[in-house]
């Protein structure tokens, strides 16, 4: 498995990328900021998961805009292609570069203790955005993101409202295994559908990608065919990939198979507006401004809220149609 690829190699690779500012699988770029309008330029290393989804693209853009030169930052950006070891190597390299602060959108919840202890010893504050981690809370200053358990619960409540106690065959496309987004959405969703008529035929990861969602859905369709009545995809992209597979199998997404997803990106909302998806729970990716403010507050020694949750909505077809013209991502 690729995961077993040794840290040393990845670390050297990540370091080289940090230094050269070029991009490949694990891409790192450095946006230069030699002067800021006022005060010292704040150098921030941002370890992003990768570029798996539309949500991620919007999140990266929001972070790059917020941590801009004009706002007094120099951003060292790394996207780890969803490889935990590559992400930890990137954080190591940020520490070696003596950045002022580190921001992490963690691929998975585990494996963080050693590198966070290293950051703490180097007196570099760590701020988490998007996904949570399992490490001791004393190892990071703050977290800013969405409530994934609540998102799963909202999706599950829609399922219960729609199907009630009628026996309904469901398949699930899970997000990246070991990510807090996938784990918490599963927990919230399962709690909400408990006692309903939903029968789970299968649940498998599609890694939060369109390609993953398509491939896994093809497998589900081969095995369970027309008996599938409901799909819960833990993000829009996997739902959109599954729609391709469903249409290729000669079935109508949103009609033959009802679909509920999470994120509410423009692409997802467009599919919802034409009835190919039936319901979407929002997950807000535009976190950059709040994260940048938190970084500045932490560096200024101000007390910050440890866990800060964004507010999410949910959409049916009519609500998607109304929201689409002003949708930002």
Binding site for ligand GYE (CB under 6 A): 52-53, 55-56, 130-131, 146, 181, 208, 235, 237, 262-263, 283
How far apart are CB 90 and ligand GYE at their closest, in Å? 17
**Minimal distance in Å, beta carbon 181 to ligand GYE?**
4
Rank residues 60 and 273 by Cβ distance to ligand GYE and give the closer one. Answer: 60
Rounded distance between C-alpha atoms, residue 144 and residue 142, angstroms? 7
- Mapping DSSP to helix (H, G, I), strand (E, B) and coil, where does residue 226 land? helix
- Between 163 and 329, whose beta carbon lies closer to ligand GYE? 329
Nearer to ligand GYE, 106 or 124 (CB): 106
β-partners of residue 102 are: 45, 126
Partners of 77 in beta bridges = 29, 46
Task: Measure Cα distances from 17 to 62, 79, 122, 276, 289 in Å.
Answer: 22, 11, 22, 41, 26
In angstroms, rounded to a whole number, what is the distance separating the alpha carbons of residues 289 and 66? 5
Taking the least distance from each CB to ligand GYE, the nearer of 69 and 244 is 244
User: What is the closest distance, in whole angstroms, from the C-beta atom of residue 179 to ligand GYE in the complex?
Assistant: 6
Decide: 211 and 242 in contact? Cβ < 8 Å: no
DSSP state of 292: H
**SS3 state at 325:** helix
Minimum distance, C-beta of residue 147 to ligand GYE, in the bound complex (Å): 10
Neighbours of 21 (CB within 10 A): 14
Write the DSSP symbol of residue 310. -
What's the min distance (Å) between Cβ of 60 and ligand GYE?
11
């Amino acid at each position: 498995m690729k995961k077993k690829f040794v840290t040393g190699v990845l670390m050297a690779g990540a370091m080289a990328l940090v230094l050269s500012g070029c991009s490949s699988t694990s891409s790192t770029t450095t946006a230069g900021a030699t002067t800021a309008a006022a005060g010292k330029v704040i150098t921030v290393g941002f370890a992003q998961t990768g570029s798996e989804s539309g949500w991620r693209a919007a999140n990266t853009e929001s972070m790059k805009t917020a941590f801009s030169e004009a706002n007094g930052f120099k951003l060292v950006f790394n996207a780890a292609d969803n490889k935990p070891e590559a992400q930890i190597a990137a954080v190591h390299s940020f520490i070696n570069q003596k950045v002022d602060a580190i921001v992490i959108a963690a691929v998975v919840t585990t494996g963080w203790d050693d590198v966070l202890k290293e950051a703490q010893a180097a007196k570099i504050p760590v701020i988490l955005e998007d996904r949570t981690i399992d490490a001791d809370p004393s190892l990071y200053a703050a977290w800013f993101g969405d409530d994934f358990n609540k998102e799963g619960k909202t999706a599950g409540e829609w399922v219960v409202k729609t199907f009630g106690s009628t026996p309904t065959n469901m398949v699930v496309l899970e997000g990246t295994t070991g990510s807090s987004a996938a784990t918490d959405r599963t927990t919230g969703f399962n709690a909400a559908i408990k006692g309903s008529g939903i029968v789970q035929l299968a649940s498998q990861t599609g890694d939060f990608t369109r390609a993953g969602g398509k491939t896994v859905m093809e497998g589900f369709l081969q095995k369970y065919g027309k008996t599938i009545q409901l799909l819960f995809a833990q993000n829009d992209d996997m739902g959109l990939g599954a729609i391709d597979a469903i249409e290729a199998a000669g079935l109508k997404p949103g009609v033959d198979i009802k679909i509920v997803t999470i994120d509410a990106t423009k692409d997802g909302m467009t599919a919802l507006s034409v009835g190919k998806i039936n319901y979407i729970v929002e997950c807000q990716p535009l976190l950059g401004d709040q994260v940048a403010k938190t970084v500045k507050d932490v560096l200024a020694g101000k007390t910050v809220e440890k866990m800060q949750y964004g507010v999410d909505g949910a959409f049916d077809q009519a609500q998607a149609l109304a929201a689409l013209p002003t949708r930002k991502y």
